[in-house]
Amino acid sequence: MEPQEEKPIIYTMENKPIVTCAGDQALFTSLYTPLAQQLPREPMEWRRTYGRAPKMIHLEANFVQFKEDLLPKEGNKALLTFPFLHIYWTDCCDTEVYKSSVKEDMTRWQSSLRVHGSADWVIVVVETSDAKKKNKTNILPRSSIVDKIRNDFCNKQNDRCVVLSDPLKDSSRSQESWSSFLLKLRTLLLMSFTKNLGRFEDDMRTLREKRTQPGWSFCEYFMVQEELAFVFEMLQQFEDALVQYDELDALFTQYVLNFGAGDGANWLGSFCAPVKAWSGLLLRRPIDMEKREGIQRGEASLLDLRSYLFSRQCTLLIFLQRPWEVTHRALELLHTCVQELRLLEVSVLEGALDCWVFLSCLEVLHRIEGCCDPAQLAANCSHTVGLWAYATDKLKCLGYLCGLVSDQGPTSEDLNRTVDLLAGLGDERPETVSSLQSPYKKLKEALSSVEAFERHYLELSHAAMEMYRAIGRMRSARLVGKSLAEFYMRKADPDHAESFLQDALRSYVSEGWNLPVTHTRKQIAACQKLLVRTEDYLQTSALLAGDGNLTSEEREHFCQEILTFAGQSTDSKAAQKVALSMTAFAQLTQLQFRPATASVHSGAALQVELRLRSLMPVPVPLEQLAASLHFSLEQAGTLGRAKGALRQPNPGIVHFPPGSSSGGPLQSSLAGGPALELDEIQDRSPSDNSLNSAGMVCKNTHLVMRCHDSGSSPDLPNCVSPAPVAMDDGAQMLKTHNVTLLPGDNSIVFTAPSGDPGTYTLRQLCATVGQVQFVLPHIYPLVQYEVYSQEPQLTVEPLTEPLLAGLPQKVRFTLQTGHYSVKKGDALQLSNTDSMPILPPSPSSPCAATILNAASERVGEASLSIQASEKVTSIVLPLTPPYHTLEFQLEVLCVIPSGPHRPPGERLTNGEVRHRPRSYSHPDTPMTAIDQRMSIDCPWSIYSTLLALTFYIPFKTKHSLLSAGNRKFIQVCVQNVSDVSFHLTEQHLTEQQQECSLELQSLNTKAQQLVSSKQCVFCLWEVKWKACLPACLQCVFSASFSPSAHQTSSFKPYHYDFQLERVTTLYSLRAEILPGAGEQSCHSGTLCGLEVSITRLAEPSEGEEEVEGQGETEGLRTTKLMYEVADSSSSWAVCGKSSGLVSMPLAVCATHKIHIEVMPLFAGHLPFPKIQVFKYLPHSALPAIQPDPDSCVENDTLSLLDKALDDQADTASIRSRGSVLSVGSGEQQQRGLPMPRLEPFNPGQVFNHSQGLQVLVLPATDDHVLEVNAT
């Protein structure tokens, strides 16, 4: 075999790039095998033009002997026959031989290449050891022969001459030589590919751009671009090859669309010829040469072009291992071809296109089955089910066309049509002759007889339905089933047809397809009539009679079917009536109660008005219209409350949305379950009827929670076969007879029973027409009315919110008599309290009571007789019938508590000990709340009724002690926290002690002041004493107030008690800052002296002696004080010790001075550093008496004592809080050992004369930046 003599096979999948070999053919033959094996082993990176991504490819080549006939001629664009590289082989090592023959042969070879413009060549010089041994005399060094060849032929391309050393030997030198040679050969071959393919693509692009010119042919362009696809396929770049065919597909499709829009190309005329063959797709050949040649000659039809194009795409997709994309493309292709034939107005025999689609679907499915195993096919049936369904539909069309579905069988005309269709199929292809299940055989057999057609059609239909069900596409499965039902109806088999129609109808109803629902119901009605299913047929007829999608004649026909059956007389008395769903007959739109509260007492009249919208096209006479009632005796029925279903903007009226009168809140009927019957439950206190808790309960849980069969039909409002309905046998019913329902809205009035107290629920509605009953099984929303027997209820509520303490406030008493009748002499006994007395009415405006009926209508008015004693206020009630309401108003006054004084215990009328009302802070208002309870004895009960009212104190009062040396001042702040403005007058401050040792001099100038809402008024008194200031001051602040809006109202008193302890000034504190030595003023950054003087101003008291008198120095009793100097404004730096202990004599005018060095940090008028003094209590001292929580916290504005250690600055010279307040370690404190401690002085006990003073600090002399701190 000599591979160089073989011509490449052009149109097979084994094509390889052509490489010509010239020179020593025997040499090349010896090297052909290793060269062909090693060339494709290593991949090469192919970098293409136009920024396309590089790819790794394995290069192969078809090595042939060089002939000038293989060189491309001018204008030849074929790439498969194009030689990409030319190689000249020689092993010459003799100069004489080179000059005599080899050089001339190379020259002729290069001349031929140059003439044909081939610049891709290489010269291979093979060096062998055997040639050296044969002729040693004339052998020159190999380098000299190579140099001569390079000088003669490769002047500017030295890399075009390659040396291959000992290629047939197994040595390292040979392997290196082979590697170098193969790399060079791959590189040159890849460069030739890139260059020639780029030139070809440019020519192809130029040809495509000429498509608007006259004479341009799509078929010619098709062959050119397919040549490029063949080259990519030859290089195993299947993705790029597929792109070429996709571009051709898109280009042709665009031309067809333009033709349909009126912009047609001349070359499209060849594709508009009538279709004469419809043999389907051919996917079992890599290339259908017959159709390709037809395209090349311009004689192909539209189906031929599409079939060939898809077969090539299918082949490439199989190579790319994307078989499922083939199915999607095939389905799209089949639909596209049908549309394109219509756009191009191509003449096609009726049924021919159905044959072509059917054969193509099966051909694609067989091709996919050939490259996938059964497990893959089953797992990916979602990709193939579309083809199965399309083939089924086309086979059905062929059966109808050829008369294979009718009862009589095909006629002669049908047989002639079948013969014409089979003739267009042609002969069976050789690839499928041996196959028993080929598409050709299946179609031919299916059209041969009625039985064969039915077998094939049912097989395809059931296969498509099973696949749709397997992938969860139930809608599509039911659509195929509906097609099967039509087939069975044509075959006069309604029993099989009905089940498929029911499935389809269920899908249409759930998705809201109105027209398909109507059409399917008509088909079902025909089936049921043939099957003599009377009840089902009547139900379907009722649905169709009320369907607005039908004509009037059709609706009247189905309505008359119902009336005809209802009017039939039966001899059997035991014959049961036919129960149908009312949803198809009429709709309950509205229900109205009279009275609107839907709550009446026992024996009262109650009417129920129903509004029904008849869906029938003609008037329908009803023998009886009844509604069943469910009675329940519940505790809630004795409270007289309206049900939740009636709590709407229009009380007493319940609206039923369309389709919801028999459904649940969320259309529970769509879910296949009964309606939810929901009710509310309330837990109320038996004493005052207050609501403790509320909830909801489902009254038909046993029905809602019942398991349903997944395959059963849901009880849809528009379904053909709803769940069986029956009228409950109820003891009580609403009934009316001989009613005629007109088309549209109708109003029917019932009288509801109201004998027994309880809750009545409307459950069902039934309309009887002869032998037919239309039943509404569930009424939703839930409709209830209540018959109650109510206990008397007494409530007290304020007329205005909030109730203000200290002022007369009106409250409303509401008595709901219930079943009790107020008789003559009945009275309410109210217990009197000092904290909330009931004010008697004035003679000019006596107290009157209003009587209301159950509908809240005023029916009378009577005056009240009120008699008050020391402990009880008696209110005589007027005569009031049962189930009425009695209302009257009284004035009460809540006394504002003044202080912690507790009166002696007293008891209420019911014997309970009266508890003084306690004030507390309410979270929703800044006012302080007071709960007042009253006990009321009612004539209908042996128990007392306790009612509570909440009052709010309109004021918040605070007090503070102010000091100026030994002078003391008391300030009282009254804040109005209510929304009402008041006038405040007669402000007084007095002592509570029996012996008045103080003089409280008022500094208030205004006798009356206006206190607006959320505003404050301050009052000030100076405290003067004669002998000595007492240790504890107990004071009472009193004033009178009145609302500013009422000019004539009287002023009400207001008192505020408070206590002040340890108010004597014990120490005086003075500080002075002195400049440094030799300086007249303080300078920033320079040390200054801080001199602090602490002076004792008062003799020690007994309590102070017990606590502080622990030391003695030079015969004087002393106490220890802790001082601390800190600066919170960061203006001073304390240098050295900032705190220490001072032993202070307990004698008047005793003074102790402390010197501390400080440094100002800024220039300007700086405030003095903060100086604080604490009591230092040794471990043996008793803790100081804790102040009363009610006592004041002084706000000393004249001698403002700084806060404790909380406000200390965090500086390096100041100790932490723990080091100041605790002397011992934390461990010792945890063990409970007695440790010294610090205790702050009470407000006013230490007066700081230097508080608020400032000192002038000048800037340093060498500062370039002036910093001034202005405070």
What pLDDT digit, counting tens, does each position of 271-330 carry?
Answer: 888 888 888 888 888 888 888 888 888 888 899 999 999 999 999 999 998 999 999 999
User: Residue 529 pLDDT > 70, yes or no?
Assistant: yes
**What mean pLDDT comes out for the span 194-221?**
87
User: Residue 1120 pLDDT > 90, yes or no?
Assistant: no
C-alpha 662/C-alpha 725 separation (Å) is 12
Least confident piece of the model among 139-143, 455-459, 759-763: 139-143
Least confident piece of the model among 181-190, 330-339, 873-882, 1234-1243: 1234-1243
With tokens 């079917």, the residue in question is 561
C-alpha 458/C-alpha 263 separation (Å) is 45
- Per-residue pLDDT band for 4 (boundaries 50, 70, 90) equals very low
Whether the bond between 802 and the residue before it is cis, its omega within 30 degrees of 0, is yes
- Per-residue pLDDT band for 1265 (boundaries 50, 70, 90) equals low
The residue among 1037, 896, 1068 whose CA lies nearest residue 970 is 1037
C-alpha 164/C-alpha 1227 separation (Å) is 96
The tokens for 330 are 């095939």
C-alpha 243/C-alpha 248 separation (Å) is 9
Compute CA 105 distance to the chain's CA centroid, rounded to the nearest angstrom. 83
State residue 830's pLDDT score.
87
Per-residue pLDDT reduced to its tens digit, 776-808: 988 888 898 888 887 888 889 888 888 888 888
C-alpha 280/C-alpha 432 separation (Å) is 13
Tell me what the pLDDT averaged over the chain comes to. 80
The residue among 78, 62, 57, 80 whose CA lies nearest residue 237 is 57
- Per-residue pLDDT band for 1031 (boundaries 50, 70, 90) equals confident
User: Residue 1020 pLDDT > 60, yes or no?
Assistant: yes
State residue 525's pLDDT score.
92
Please give the residue that has the higher pLDDT: either 127 or 812: 812
Length of the chain: 1271
User: Residue 139 pLDDT > 80, yes or no?
Assistant: no
Per-residue pLDDT reduced to its tens digit, 912-932: 555 555 666 666 677 888 888
Which DSSP symbol is given to 888? Answer: E
- Neighbouring-strand partners of residue 833: none
**What mean pLDDT comes out for the span 478-487?**
91
The residue among 746, 709, 730, 520 whose CA lies nearest residue 612 is 746
- Neighbouring-strand partners of residue 1239: 1175
User: Residue 357 pLDDT > 90, yes or no?
Assistant: yes
Per-residue pLDDT reduced to its tens digit, 149-200: 887 787 777 778 888 887 888 788 888 888 888 888 888 888 888 888 888 8
Least confident piece of the model among 43-47, 158-162, 710-714, 1106-1110: 710-714
- Count of Cβ atoms closer than 10 Å to residue 989 Cβ: 22
User: Residue 638 pLDDT > 50, yes or no?
Assistant: no
User: Residue 699 pLDDT > 50, yes or no?
Assistant: yes
What are the C-alpha distances in Å from 288 to residues 9, 295, 1165?
15, 11, 108
Least confident piece of the model among 1-10, 858-867, 1156-1165: 1-10
- Per-residue pLDDT band for 1115 (boundaries 50, 70, 90) equals low
CB-based contact 70:18 (threshold 8 Å): yes
> The whole model's pTM is what?
0.55
Q: What is the dihedral of CA 1100, 1106, 1110, 1111, to 10 degrees?
A: 30
Per-residue pLDDT reduced to its tens digit, 1066-1079: 888 899 988 988 88
The tokens for 82 are 């194009």
The helix (run of H) or strand (run of E) holding residue 621 is strand 620-632
| % of the chain beyond a pLDDT of 90 | 16
**What mean pLDDT comes out for the span 1198-1219?**
35
- Give the largest Cα separation in the chain, rounded: 161
- Neighbouring-strand partners of residue 1052: 1041
State residue 614's pLDDT score.
92
- Neighbouring-strand partners of residue 62: 18
- Per-residue pLDDT band for 361 (boundaries 50, 70, 90) equals very high
Per-residue pLDDT reduced to its tens digit, 644-683: 344 445 678 899 887 655 444 334 333 445 667 778 888 8
Q: Which residues of 95-117 are buried (b: 16+ CB within 10 A; e: fewer)?
A: eeebeeebbeebeebbebbeeee
Please give the residue that has the higher pLDDT: either 174 or 133: 174
Instruction: Read off φ and ψ for residue 48, nearest 5 degrees.
Output: -100, 170
C-alpha 58/C-alpha 46 separation (Å) is 10
What are the C-alpha distances in Å from 567 to residues 737, 770, 772, 1082?
17, 6, 9, 124
- Per-residue pLDDT band for 141 (boundaries 50, 70, 90) equals low
- Per-residue pLDDT band for 92 (boundaries 50, 70, 90) equals confident
State residue 596's pLDDT score.
87
State residue 331's pLDDT score.
93
Which DSSP symbol is given to 1138? Answer: -
Per-residue pLDDT reduced to its tens digit, 1164-1173: 998 988 888 9
CB-based contact 130:169 (threshold 8 Å): no
User: Residue 7 pLDDT > 70, yes or no?
Assistant: no
- Per-residue pLDDT band for 405 (boundaries 50, 70, 90) equals confident
